[in-house]
Amino acid sequence: MNIEAVKTQFRALKMSTAAKELDEVAAKHKAAVSLHWISELLEREIDTRKEHGLQKRIERAAFPELRTLEEFDWRFNPKIDKEKIEELAKLEFIHNNRIGLFLGKPGTGKTHLALAIGLLAVKAGLRVYCTSAKNLAYEITLARAKNNLDVLFKKILSSNLWIVDNWGVVSMGREIAEEVFDLFDRRKYNSAMILTSNRDLKEWSEVFPDPVLANATIDRMFDRAEIVIFEGKSYRLKGRIELPEFRVTKTARKEEAKI
């Protein structure tokens, strides 16, 4: 067993003293030839720590569900730009604090792909934080009431990737909108973002209390953004269109039978 390999494992476990003093201690005990067992043990420790770290990052990311790119059927809505998504999935945009805007029709996979990229980021060792726009407004309200807005800001801005799902569904009062603007403004120095929305762009300003705040915030969302348009039919309806009718018929038949 190469003593250097064991040193690398010690360093991976942040055991710098053990790495530095291994030569001396091994020489003292003339044990350099029998390092296989310790190497295997260290490898197990490294694997366990990696797994725990991943689980912790998944929990902190607050994903509503775990989705993968592999589960996505690109043939269902072929107009969705697969190449652009695959480019984002390389995660380079995260290192550059860029934005991915996933815009378009309901049920076409915006949230699915945002979560899938989020999971890839977490697996790559990055910190992700995921929230719906509605929940963000709720969290801001709660944090303001508890006077700990700084904790919420830190949680969001210390993540490498911030996913804001379902933008445009809730209208915001001035106090919330100002904090949202502040977050979007400060984000560019700290974290990348993926924002999903099925609302028409023309309607975006309606969620703000005034046009000045709306323009300033929307401007920041589009700053160096990679825009992916989701066109096509809702996957939620796939193979289900006949189902409700079938159920109604069955129930109706039962009702008929009772009469």
Ligand X SMILES: Nc1ncnc2c1ncn2[C@@H]1O[C@H](COP(=O)(O)OP(=O)(O)OP(=O)(O)O)[C@@H](O)[C@H]1O
**What torsion do the CA atoms of 204, 207, 213, 219 make, to the nearest 10 degrees?**
-20
The candidate with the shortest Cα–Cα distance to 12, out of 36, 37, 44, is 44
In the complex, the smallest distance separating the C-beta of residue 110 from Mg ion, rounded to whole angstroms, is 5
* 77 is a contact residue toward Mg ion (CB under 5 A): no
Q: Are 208 and 172 in contact (CB under 8 A)?
A: yes
> Under 8 Å CB-to-CB from 154, ≥6 apart: which residues?
none
Residue carrying structure tokens 């190497």: 39
What character string, x for contact with ligand X (CB under 6 A) and - otherwise, covers 77-106? x----------------------------x
* 111 is a contact residue toward Mg ion (CB under 5 A): yes
In the complex, the smallest distance separating the C-beta of residue 111 from Mg ion, rounded to whole angstroms, is 3
Name which of residues 101 to 130 contact ligand X (CB under 6 A): 106-112
Measured from the CB atom, the residue of 73 and 83 that comes closer to ligand X is 73
197-217 burial string, b = 16+ CB within 10 Å, else e?
Answer: bbeeeeebeebbeeeebbeeb
* 166 is a contact residue toward ligand X (CB under 6 A): yes
* 76 is a contact residue toward ligand X (CB under 6 A): yes
* 132 is a contact residue toward ligand X (CB under 6 A): no
Residues engaged in binding ligand X (CB under 6 A): 67, 71-73, 76-77, 106-112, 166, 196, 198, 230, 235-236
Provide the binding-site residues for Mg ion, judged by CB under 5 A.
110-111
